[in-house]
């Protein structure tokens, strides 16, 4: 099939890394996938992102090219363009402004989809990316769908209307689906299909870790330095551990200076290391080489984070918070769960892993098995591609 993927910024910038393996797997299976970023901003950071750049598919949200294409499309099919515009109308002024900003690019994408001979348009995020895809589909006649994560469901930008006009709505967690159903999303068109990860070439779940190495017990938090990821509570938890343990933070963001100041205030300069924006392959290499002993994600709200799934695929024990779709991933002995915003509980969970090597190994084995059963990339993409094909008939 020929599928256009609408993203927020991918392949540019540091976010949306989890979409790259999905696209590569679709291509490996023989599908042609083009990537259309709504806001193409930032550098090409991650390995494999450069393969997703097609200059013909990259335009800023507004440009002379966009304006000219939108004008031509309006002349070609004025009533379809008017109907598409009406679909974006909402009483929420913020959502209305975002949708209207994306409207001209939606008309450009409609023209592009026809010329590109697209058979399906798929948007990641139920937010403005989906608004763009909905306009393009309404005007071009190419069927469309979207993947909803977590914050975009909470935002609620016409998600029920979008599900009614899409061929399907994919949710990455059961909790996300339930939240969307309460907002009026079509149950008939909605289903849960997790994000998949590419499994390591060898099973590392039972590979001995570096507990015996003469170095501190090392935990890693792979997350953007933004408020909802909860770094402040993890750093505080570290200060409660008067033990030989250190924390690596892989990511960057608006809170970096504030978190660095917190580290200094708590006297943890020798125990916290800021890695900055870590390329995806480099992060996985840390797991493969057993440079870290556990992965911790202290988020305040999440869907089902790929950052945890990837660590689990390498047999590493993980700790996270009981929020969003995380319990779906970790309940039943696949990881340790603590309440959000609870530094003391985080510290106690880390202490349990340090003191009980058998527990750490069992969590690693159980987590790895769960990923192999439910999150293997090829299985996930097979199901997604089948949905694309069904919608194109």
Instruction: Please state the domain extents for the chain.
Output: 2-196+376-392, 210-374
pLDDT band for 14, please (50, 70, 90 cuts).
confident
Q: Give the pLDDT score at 206.
A: 62
Q: Give the pLDDT score at 208.
A: 54
Q: What is the pLDDT of residues 156-206, one digit of tens each?
A: 999 999 999 999 999 999 999 999 999 999 999 999 999 999 999 776 666
pTM of the model: 0.89
- As given in the structure block, the two tokens for residue 61 are 């949200």
Q: Which CATH code for domain 210-374?
A: 3.40.50.2000
Helices 128-140, 78-87: axis angle to 10 degrees equals 150
Please check whether the two domains, 2-196+376-392 and 210-374, share a CATH topology: yes
CA distances from 29 to 26, 32, 93 (A): 5, 9, 42
- Label the pairing between strands 2-7 and 120-124: parallel
Architecture label for domain 2-196+376-392? 3-Layer(aba) Sandwich (3.40)
Average per-residue pLDDT for the chain: 94
Q: Look at residue 234 and tell me whether its pLDDT is greater than 90.
A: yes
Nearest to 170 by CA among 194, 191, 186, 199: 191
Q: What is the pLDDT of residues 257-283, one digit of tens each?
A: 999 999 999 999 999 999 998 888 899
Of residues 269 and 46, which shows the higher confidence score? 269
Q: What average pLDDT does this structure show over 23-33?
A: 97
| % the chain with pLDDT above 70 | 97
């Amino acid at each position: 099939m020929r599928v256009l993927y609408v993203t927020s910024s991918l392949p540019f910038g540091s976010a949306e890394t989890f979409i790259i393996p999905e696209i590569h797997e679709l291509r490996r299976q023989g599908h042609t996938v083009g990537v259309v970023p709504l806001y193409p901003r930032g550098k090409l950071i991650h390995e494999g992102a450069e393969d997703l750049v097609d200059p013909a598919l990259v335009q800023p949200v507004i440009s002379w090219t966009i304006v000219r294409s939108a004008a031509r499309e309006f002349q070609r099919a004025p009533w379809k363009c008017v109907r598409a515009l009406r679909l974006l109308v909402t009483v929420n002024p913020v959502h209305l402004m975002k949708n209207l900003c994306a409207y001209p690019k939606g008309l450009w994408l409609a023209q592009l989809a026809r010329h590109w001979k697209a058979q399906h348009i798929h948007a990641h995020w139920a937010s403005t990316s989906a608004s763009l895809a909905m306009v393009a589909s309404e005007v071009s006649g190419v069927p469309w769908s979207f993947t909803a994560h977590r914050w975009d469901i909470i935002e609620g930008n016409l998600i029920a209307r979008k599900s009614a006009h899409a061929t399907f709505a994919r949710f990455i967690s059961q909790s996300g689906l339930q939240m969307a159903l309460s907002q009026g999303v079509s149950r008939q068109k909605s289903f849960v299909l997790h994000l998949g990860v590419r499994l390591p070439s060898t099973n590392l779940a039972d590979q001995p870790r570096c507990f015996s190495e003469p170095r501190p017990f090392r935990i890693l938090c792979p997350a953007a330095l933004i408020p909802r990821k909860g770094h402040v509570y993890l750093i505080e938890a570290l200060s409660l551990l008067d033990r030989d343990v250190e924390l690596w933070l892989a990511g960057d963001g608006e809170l970096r200076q504030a978190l660095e100041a917190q580290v200094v205030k708590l006297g943890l300069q020798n125990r916290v290391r800021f890695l900055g924006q870590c390329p995806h392959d480099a992060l996985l290499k840390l797991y493969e080489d057993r440079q870290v002993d556990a992965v911790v994600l202290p988020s305040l709200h999440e869907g089902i984070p790929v950052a945890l799934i990837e660590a689990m695929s390498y047999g590493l024990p993980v700790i996270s918070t009981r929020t969003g779709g995380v319990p779906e991933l970790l309940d039943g002995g696949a990881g340790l769960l603590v309440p959000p915003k609870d530094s003391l509980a985080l510290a106690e969970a880390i202490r349990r892993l340090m003191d009980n090597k058998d527990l750490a190994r069992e969590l690693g084995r159980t987590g790895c098995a769960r990923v192999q059963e439910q999150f293997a990339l090829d299985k996930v993409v097979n199901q997604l591609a089948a949905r694309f094909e069904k919608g194109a008939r």
